[in-house]
Amino acid sequence: MKLIKSVGSMRLWSNQTRARGKTIAFVPTMGFLHEGHLSLVRRARREASAVVMSIFVNPLQFGPREDFVAYPRDIQRDSALAGAEGCDVLFFPAKKQMYPEGFLTRVGVERMDGVLCGAFRPGHFVGVCTVVLKLANIVRPHVLLVGQKDAQQAVILGRMLRDLNTEVRLIVCPTVRERDGLAMSSRNSYLSPKERERALAISRSLFLARKLVLCGERKAARILGQMKSALSRGGISDIDYVAILDAKELVPVKTVRGEVLIAVAARVGTTRLIDNIKLRI
């Protein structure tokens, strides 16, 4: 696996790879890889002839009181994991490569970037859109892969890539979970053993919601009520949101119909966790 650190070298590699008639699949990450990221790489290998993963902890998507500095980093381990999964290139740019002095441009998706996590993390999705568009312009992939775990991010990026007439195809891969149901996340590393136990209430509340819908419940208010009770019973009280939304438009629904997203964001100790499930009725 090739390690590339400069924007110029990355662009050169992509142009040469395309010129040889190869297709490129791209997995953007913030590193500290887990099975979720690696599942994206495996899917990427099936979608294109070459796979690029980027690792860049993007300062633009962190708020001033968020965990940019604390965010876990381990490039040696990540590099070994990405290589073992068959990544062709690991793109690992420094901050100055991505945001040289004088950088001022911002990309956002109106309305969608102000709801759910966007309401609690102002500027977060503008940071995500801006960096992903930059990365896509540097790597020039045919396919870009992200995880369903970050459901709002996936919808927003899909909207942005389409709205801006990029030729990049977005593939959203299923959330990968621990055996007990906890959605994999680099931020799980922040949890103490007791918090790790409490965190399970989040996925449990989602599985409960799925069960209720499968048993015929269609009223969002009732499902949300039961989810909140389940979270509370599990010791989770610091909830940012529990929501049932139209999966494409990210607008809350009163009745479960069509494709819906059921999403939770809550704090376990000081760690903010998110999780979701998508259902089609």
Which residues are identified as catalytic? 37
**Residue 157 and residue 134 in contact, taking contact as beta carbons nearer than 8 Å:** no
Burial of 154 (0-12, 13-18, 19+ CB in 10 A): buried
The residue among 45, 124, 135, 142 whose CA lies nearest residue 92 is 135
| Binds a second copy by CB under 8 A, chosen from 28, 31, 36, 108 | 108
Residue 169 interacts with a second copy (CB under 8 A): yes or no: no
Which residues between 43 and 62 bind a second copy (CB under 8 A)?
none
Residue 159 interacts with a second copy (CB under 8 A): yes or no: yes
Q: Identify which of residues 76 and 105 has a Cβ nearer to a second copy in the complex.
A: 105
Residues 6+ apart with CB under 8 A from 212: 222, 223, 226
**Residue 52 and residue 12 in contact, taking contact as beta carbons nearer than 8 Å:** no
Q: Identify which of residues 133 and 245 has a Cβ nearer to a second copy in the complex.
A: 133
Burial of 24 (0-12, 13-18, 19+ CB in 10 A): buried
Which residues between 225 and 254 bind a second copy (CB under 8 A)?
249
Q: Identify which of residues 18 and 196 has a Cβ nearer to a second copy in the complex.
A: 18
Residues 6+ apart with CB under 8 A from 281: 213, 218, 256, 257, 258, 259, 260
How many Cα atoms within 13 Å fall on the side-chain side of residue 149? 25
Residue 18 interacts with a second copy (CB under 8 A): yes or no: no
| Binds a second copy by CB under 8 A, chosen from 52, 107, 213, 274 | 107
Residue 111 interacts with a second copy (CB under 8 A): yes or no: yes
Q: Identify which of residues 15 and 189 has a Cβ nearer to a second copy in the complex.
A: 15
Residue 117 interacts with a second copy (CB under 8 A): yes or no: no
Q: Identify which of residues 133 and 277 has a Cβ nearer to a second copy in the complex.
A: 133
Residue 16 interacts with a second copy (CB under 8 A): yes or no: no
Separation of alpha carbons 49 and 120, rounded Å? 39
Residue 103 interacts with a second copy (CB under 8 A): yes or no: yes
Residue 120 interacts with a second copy (CB under 8 A): yes or no: no
Q: Which stretch binds a second copy (CB under 8 A): 48-56, 79-87, 96-104, 272-280?
A: 96-104
Separation of alpha carbons 54 and 225, rounded Å? 40
The residue among 99, 118, 5 whose CA lies nearest residue 60 is 99
**Strands 271-280 vs 143-147: parallel, antiparallel or unpaired:** unpaired
Quote the least distance from Cβ 257 to a second copy, whole Å.
19
Q: Which residues bind a second copy (CB under 8 A)?
A: 7, 11, 102-112, 129-130, 133-134, 137-138, 159-160, 163-167, 249
